[in-house]
Structure 1
């Protein structure tokens, strides 16, 4: 029952939308680095940029693993306007801000937001989540909340 409620909450949670803002070709077979901008749906005034590797069809056919991209990703989050913090999860586990599939069913790229109350800072973590094995590839970015409006204010 608890897992059904959690699944429903995840489906109803506001989903962040990624907008591609850059693409850099890295080799002759068509592999690219994609850069996307993602506005935090619950924290107005913060935008995260993620960069990740996008495998070409030629690379997929020659290297195998046809249906997935590597887990590598990098993130940078910055204040892009007045910060207004909405009703966010302030627990140590944080909450998912963004999810994007990196294979047909087994792997996804995720961004989690964690609130560091002692330092009045939001931490954004990008990582891959896999069904069968975890990945140690991750990147973090922090945004201090100097003078920000919190939902409790």
Structure 2
């Protein structure tokens, strides 16, 4: 019993740290639930910590109901990403060609939404790829967005 409590506390700390990396812009209810919160689509903003003036907006489905109200529901792998320059953006130097930059939990235990940054050196474009993953198996759900920089040829 103590091991389960410790595991839940560790998970809770990890989820709270993930939440600090985002700003909730808003949400739209999609399905009415008699008990618990409604199903909804939420929009979160993630600012790239290594590239100034780039913000990514991720919309994703959140499951409501009793399980959703307590954070125990597994959210579906339905999401979209749009990254934009919110000021002048220079092509970054010294960053890895591929790097995980954002992470959000879609369920209490295994499912995550991850956003990776990729650099296109030829066109001087920054790409962001959002994927849904599980510990046990990968998921084909993905979305992509590109941000042009002042270093474009």
The interval holding the TM-score normalised by the smaller chain is 0.7 to 0.9
Query: Do the aligned residues in 1 keep the contact of 2:119 with 2:127 (CA within 8 Å)?
Result: yes
| Count of residue correspondences | 127
Shift of 1:88: 1.9
Task: Please tell me the root mean square deviation across aligned C-alpha atoms, in Å.
Answer: 2.1
Aligned to 2:146: 142
**TM-score scaled by structure 2?**
0.75
More displaced, 114-123 or 16-25? Answer: 16-25
Matches of 1:114 and 1:60, distance apart in 2: 33
Distance verdict in 2 for CA 1:31–1:18, change over 3 Å:
same
Shift of 1:52: 0.2
Aligned to 1:97: 101
Aligned to 1:46: 54
Pairs within 5 Å for 1:1-153? 17-29=21-33, 30-58=38-66, 66-84=72-90, 85=92, 87-90=94-97, 94-147=98-151
Structure 2 unmatched runs, 5+: 1-17
Query: Do the aligned residues in 1 keep the contact of 2:103 with 2:115 (CA within 8 Å)?
Result: yes
Structure 1 unmatched runs, 5+: 1-14, 149-153
